[in-house]
Chains A and B, each alone.
Chain A
């Protein structure tokens, strides 16, 4: 087994475009769930709206890439308003139900046969990233030889992606240290108390839903751009739940939680995948076929990941960056 290859491939994933997408999605969830206490189970829906806006504006309607970005952001705001207006006055669970359902509706709609000419059905849309690719200043593979190497386009995606992540983290930091962020955190703790102090709780929850949704939109753009293709399969419900896993690993209500969580999550997932596929390969594998065959190896990573998440929740439920003192309060 080539340990160095195993390590570098895992690192490549941990720092790569996929990790960036989940990091951005988790930053949005952090605003929703970590700071405001809103249970958004439909982050994939926000991502799909933004990603498909970009792709269809360029491919289907032949308009500008930049217009696609603007429309994507605007439609995300519209989606947040549509979801928020009826549910944010109600108990927290209603938002959870509505968001998970709407994310599925959006995915089914863009994948439907009757809208094939606009959204490309299950195959999705391609070749909408020309403007983005033309901006790429890199013409050779970049990275550290023997550790991580990206092809020029991928490296461009990674650079833009981590820049977006850094900007998003800065925005979240600036917002959450302000009195505005303090109101969000107070709403997470007790809505009625905040209302009794003269704050318009509904309006703050709406602002939070929109801002977190916009970070989700960035994740949607990156999903579309990273592989220069978009399809409904990329916005299934498990996308949202992976993003929640990322958030909880890093620690909710911490600015850098999603960043660290995303890197660790994708590093581990790739590492386990490669390890088990290597360990069951060949005539005389490390793990005998009586225990695990090559076919089973690709599934076992999710089992181990689940186990790791369980252990994390038991022994460090506040995540990597969380504050132990906060847990002591919850136990009261």
Chain B
């Protein structure tokens, strides 16, 4: 799947058409869904019921019911401490809920360990990027491949038993590295990469698992604007490849730009659900998270006034230094 998407630049128009189609499809499938917390979706990939996680007296997560639609990009937003990352941890098996059941593609995940959940095709990244520092970029990628015969102790010592598979995995890894523009770094230690490159590597490595659902925990945190643009493109391309994306993010421009559906959390509960615009104008979300003035953009007159003031200031300081 991702391999044949790579580098089909010769056919850009077709790809572009293909892209719009997907976005329209994704939003179209959700058009009939009610805009309320716990709304049922036509084709859910994840269904969670009554998930509760308490830390002592604090109830970090208390989600009565939620469904994640297959094949779309869903954003999970909410203030710090709303329980977004905890909810991620619970869904992916990195933490255990005090109560509740949830399923992925119809298979119940209660009590299933994290590594098995990942093998089922539900792969996550971390808020604090986790690259394997003292392994090269290419080795980081190769670790991601599943079902490697060379990873069993008995076959590991005999290279001919796994060399062919290793070669295929390497080709796939190089394809993904090329797509994420990391192919020139393949021999470098992952620990020597910049913060943004680490984000890219982590996402590329997650794709090595060939997931159905990619869960990104704050993919844009600490990433510069130019790289943010390309990351946005990568996230969208996941949907085009038929994957489902669930991500936590604070950058509302990004949420508005790429997500088909938004789920807002506050104090462990889901307070609102719907398309980006509907959720962002929801009074509960504004009160709990966004603040009253999040939406007011600068008008053209405002911008011109600021620009004029700045220019005056520059001129004044220049005259001062010349004089």
Interface residues of A (CB under 8 A from B): 171, 174-175, 177-183, 185-186, 188-190, 192-201, 207, 211, 325-326, 328-330, 332
In the docked arrangement, what's the CA distance between A180 and B119, Å? Answer: 17
Cα–Cα distance between A183 and B81 once the two chains are bound (Å): 33
- Tell which of B116, B125, B156 touches A178, judged by Cβ atoms closer than 8 Å: B156
B316 within 8 A of A: no
List of A residues within 8 angstroms of B282 by Cβ? none
Given the interface pairs A185-B132, A189-B133, the reply to whether A198 lies near B115 with Cβ below 8 Å is: yes
Choice from A178, A180, A185 contacting B135 with Cβ under 8 Å: A185
Interface residues of B in 195-219 (CB under 8 A from A): 205-206, 208-209
Complex alpha-carbon distance, A188 and B134, angstroms: 9
Q: Is B148 an interface residue (CB 8 A)?
A: yes
Task: Provide the residues of chain B in CB contact with A328, threshold 8 Å.
Answer: 192
Q: Specify which chain A residues have a CB less than 8 angstroms from the CB of B142 in the assembled complex.
A: 179, 182
Kindly identify, within residues 54 to 86 of chain B, every residue whose CB is under 8 Å from any CB belonging to chain A: none
Known contacts A192-B126, A196-B92, A332-B191; is A175 also within 8 Å of B134 by CB? no
Taking the closest CB of chain A, its distance from the CB of B233, in whole angstroms, is 23
**What 10 A-B pairs are tightest by C-beta distance, nearest first?**
A329-B191, A180-B156, A179-B150, A178-B156, A198-B118, A193-B130, A189-B132, A198-B119, A174-B157, A179-B151
Would A196 and B162 be within 8 Å (CB), given that A180-B153, A180-B156, A328-B192 are in contact? no
The interface residues of chain A, by DSSP majority, are classed as: helix
Q: By the criterion CB–CB under 8 Å, are A186 and B135 in contact?
A: yes
B13 close to A (CB within 8 Å) = no
19 additional A-B residue pairs with CB within 8 Å, beyond A178-B150, A182-B143:
A175-B153, A177-B159, A178-B157, A179-B166, A180-B156, A189-B135, A190-B130, A190-B133, A192-B94, A193-B130, A193-B131, A193-B132, A196-B92, A196-B94, A196-B130, A197-B144, A197-B146, A198-B209, A200-B115
A-B contact pairs, 27 of them (CB 8 A): A171-B157, A174-B158, A179-B142, A179-B148, A179-B150, A179-B166, A180-B150, A182-B151, A183-B151, A186-B132, A188-B134, A192-B94, A192-B126, A193-B130, A193-B132, A195-B114, A196-B124, A196-B130, A198-B146, A199-B115, A199-B151, A211-B153, A325-B192, A329-B134, A329-B191, A329-B192, A330-B133
CA distance in complex: A325, B133 (Å): 11
- The distance in angstroms between the C-alpha atoms of A139 and B166, with both chains bound, is 50
Q: Which of A178, A195, A326, A328 has the most CB of B within 10 A?
A: A178
Q: Which of A174, A181, A195 has the most CB of B within 10 A?
A: A195
Q: Are A326 and B143 in contact (CB-based, < 8 A)?
A: no
CA distance A180 to B150 in the complex (A): 6
The CA-CA distance from A195 to B134 in the complex, in Å, is 17
Interface pair B130/A178, CB less than 8 Å apart? no
Q: Which of B118, B153, B157 contacts A196 (CB 8 A)?
A: B118
CA distance A188 to B94 in the complex (A): 18
Query: Would you give the shortest CB distance from A159 to chain B, in whole angstroms?
Result: 25
Smallest distance from the beta carbon of B97 to chain A beta carbons, Å?
18
**Residues of chain B with a CB closer than 8 A to A196's CB:** 92, 94, 114, 118, 123-126, 130, 206
Q: Please give, as numbers and ranges, the residues of chain A lying within 8 Å of B135 by CB-CB distance.
A: 182, 185-186, 189
Whether B159 contacts A195 by the Cβ 8 Å rule is no
Residue on A nearest B142 in the bound complex, by CB: A182
A326 to B134, CA, bound (A): 6
Query: Once bound together, how far apart are the Cα atoms of A190 and B201, in whole Å?
Result: 15
B139 on the A face (CB < 8 A): yes
Given contacts A175-B157, A197-B123, A329-B134, contact A180 B151 (CB under 8 A): yes
Distance of B204 from chain A, by nearest CB (Å): 12
B180 within 8 A of A: no
Known: A171-B157, A326-B189. A179 touches B162 (CB 8 A): yes
Q: Whole-angstrom distance from the CB of B277 to the nearest CB of chain A? A: 33
Check B133 against A329 for contact (C-beta < 8 Å). Answer: yes
B116 to chain A, nearest CB (A): 8
C-alpha spacing A330/B92, complex, angstroms: 29
> B318 to chain A: closest CB distance in Å?
41
| Residues of A with C-beta under 8 A to B134 | 185, 188-189, 326, 329
> Chain B residues with Cβ under 8 A from A211's Cβ?
153
For the complex, give the distance between the alpha carbons of A265 and B144 in Å. Answer: 39
> Is B184 interfacial (CB 8 A cutoff)?
no
Least Cβ–Cβ distance between A28 and chain B, in angstroms: 16
Most buried by A among B119, B125, B150: B150
In the bound complex, do residue B118 and residue A207 qualify as a contact, i.e. CB atoms below 8 Å apart?
A: no
Q: Report Cα–Cα, A201/B113, bound state, in Å.
A: 11
B20 → A minimal CB distance (Å): 32
Cα A211 to Cα B157 in complex, Å, equals: 13
* A-side contacts of B162, CB under 8 Å: 178-179
B152 on the A face (CB < 8 A): yes
The chain A residue sitting closest to B210, CB to CB, is: A198
Residues of B within 8 A of A195 (CB): 94, 114-115, 118
CB distance from A38 to the nearest CB of B (A): 16
Whether A207 lies near B153 (C-beta < 8 A) is yes
* CB of A211, distance to nearest CB on chain B (Å): 8
A201 CB to nearest B CB, Å: 7
- Most A CB contacts (10 A, CB to CB) among B131, B157, B205 go to B157
Determine the chain A residues whose CB is within 8 A of the CB of B118 once the complex forms: 195-198
A325 B189 Cβ-Cβ under 8 A:
yes
Quote the shortest CB–CB distance from B303 to chain A (angstroms). Answer: 40
Most interface-central of A185, A186, A197 (chain B CB within 10 A):
A197
Residues in chain A near residue B133, CB distance under 8 A: 189-190, 329-330
Query: Taking the nearest CB of chain B, how far is it from the CB of A184, in angstroms?
Result: 10
Alpha-carbon separation in the docked complex, A185 to B205 (Å): 16
The distance in angstroms between the C-alpha atoms of A267 and B88, with both chains bound, is 55
CA distance A182 to B169 in the complex (A): 14
Q: Taking the nearest CB of chain A, how far is it from the CB of B261, in angstroms?
A: 24
**What is the chain B residue whose CB lies nearest that of A328?**
B192
Asked whether, in the complex, the Cβ of B152 is within 8 Å of the Cβ of A180, the reply is yes
Cβ–Cβ < 8 Å partners of A200 in chain B: 113, 115
Task: State how many angstroms separate the Cβ of B157 from the closest Cβ of chain A.
Answer: 4
